[in-house]
Chains A and B, each alone.
Chain A
């Protein structure tokens, strides 16, 4: 989505470039139009699966900020997803407030959670960092399983469906649009972040932290920003997940969930936004494609993941390192 940046001087190159970006823009618009029209043709099952896919696009893009851009391995990402989902549940059920209020609160709690996990781990690298984040993910899950306010092991049941301009978000068709919008916003935000000053700082820290510090990059602030922003993506996804399912329980936020999201990022190609989107689609849609295989479903899914990793070790659509 490079802006038509050709200057007046380099006329020929500029024309070529703008032509390409127009073609690209037209392709995007057409794709978006098709996606917007899907609910007119698809049945509830397809909408259900696609909504889940858009949710995972958002989650994977969030984790991609941490793992892909900043190069910090995170094995507890589901914790931030849980923070969002439980914030929505507590705000609507326990406090009796509107669902929309839970969004800003979730952003705040997720930022806090991101800083809490990011703070103590600033000096940790690779495997050590992975283990601490893994522990953090389990801590959050076990905490919500044992607190009264989060409903303990049964979780929270009966989360209200929100209203928007007097129109209740109730049908799966409406949720399809909500999750599609979230995914699009996630893509745009990821793009803007990647090409921003902080995005470049993340990549610098990823490539060589010591060199980055020597060049005057505040590595602590940069890393904390990555955790916090990644957490916000997951928390917003979690809010809408909670209201769509109307019931949440700690079982949804296990280590397997963190692993699945990480799988999407690595499978697609970490650091590369289109790759991550593809990865997210693969982890959601493949198991559904294999539903008719029956009991062998997960085996087929696993074999297909192995094949992808064998033939595309850097991911389906890897980042080109500059």
Chain B
């Protein structure tokens, strides 16, 4: 009995330690901080794939500064402590830079870890406005922040003649931030938020919310959290007889939403950063991605690909792996041609333009909405 236990534990340890092969010492090591476990893992793996693909393409063309890029994944699990552990591990492995960052709440405490080590960090998904103030100067956000999303949302509501709004979030830093900003902007325009709800992550039964919404019958419902729970909410709202407009935040741009919500997702709007299938410049990117991973790219794949390419560009401009020089090169980025549009930074290291688009659920998938209230193309 005892020996078996010891054997079992020893076996586990051996399995744990003997996992992935280490990177070659001479490589330029780039960390990929994304969630590869937990509820957000599908998004994280989409991002990791795109970062890997970018690195592979650079390596195939002879690498960077004569060396190969190797990608070290760091699982943030969408949790602050796990993210700090992952970040510290990446720093201890002497990475030259980090690309990624998903779940603003988990990205926030890692800013200091990378900041203390002066590691350049290109944030490709997290876009809570909390990140701006906490940035020690080494992080660069290539995804538009919540401010831009609110502008897009409010413009669409106005064009659609919406007067009363219900806003539902999950109480995490990202979805609550977006909900609060929307409420502020909406009420400032003299409109009403008749219902403001905070639900729990992973909640299965939204019937209290649906009942309240039917009572107060807002013109539109705005869900600011992620797609897995959002799909259930849409389904239950439509089953409950709600016929008004439903709009979703940028965490809902996933084909999986249609698998989960079915016909209820038809006619639903979604604000999103530009995903590959709506970008004219991304045709080859989609084909390459499909070929390498046998699935279509995810919502943050295009931005993550851009993030890796931008990092490589900055290393090339810096001419060395000197981190301070790379940070300076990132700061000086001007109209870098990403597949999601040109990248330049504001003084606060955020993307200098809004990259949000409006999507419409049609025929079991997201399509680009170009009707009244849609933002102008970049």
Contacts and interface: CB of A to CB of B under 8 A. Distances in A.
Given A45-B85, A311-B1, A294 B19 contact: yes
A153 B176 contact: yes
B37 interface: yes
Interface stretch (A86-94, A118-126, A212-220, A296-304): A296-304
A298 B169 contact: no
Contacts of B173: 153-155, 249, 251
Nearest to A298: B37
Given A247-B80, A289-B16, A157 B130 contact: yes
Contacts, number: 121
Contacts of B128: 154
A45 B176 contact: no
Interface string A249-261: 1111000000000
B80 to A, nearest CB: 6
B13 A251 contact: no
B184 interface: no
A295 B36 contact: yes
A292 B17 contact: yes
A26 interface: no
B45 A307 contact: no
Interface size on A, as a range, is 35 or more
Given A289-B13, A300-B12, A295 B92 contact: no
Contacts of A192: none
Nearest to B131: A157
Interface in B65-115: 73, 75, 79-82, 84-86, 88-89, 91-93, 105, 108-109, 112
Contacts of B88: 44-45, 47-49, 172
Interface of B is mostly: helix
A146 interface: yes
A47 B92 CA distance: 11
Interface in A125-169: 145-146, 152-155, 157-158
A200 interface: no
A246 interface: yes
Interface in B30-48: 36-38, 41, 45
A43 interface: yes
B56 to A, nearest CB: 17
Given A295-B36, A300-B15, A153 B171 contact: yes
B216 to A, nearest CB: 19
Contact of A48 (B4, B8, B37, B84): B84
A311 B4 contact: yes
B172 to A, nearest CB: 6
B5 A250 contact: no
A44 B37 contact: no
A240 B316 CA distance: 42
Contacts of A45: 85, 88-89, 91-93
Nearest to B176: A153
3 closest Cβ pairs, A-B complex: A292-B19, A153-B176, A45-B92
11 contacts: A153-B198, A154-B176, A245-B80, A251-B80, A288-B85, A291-B75, A294-B19, A294-B75, A297-B36, A300-B15, A304-B12
Given A290-B19, A308-B9, 4 more contacts: A153-B172, A153-B198, A290-B15, A307-B8
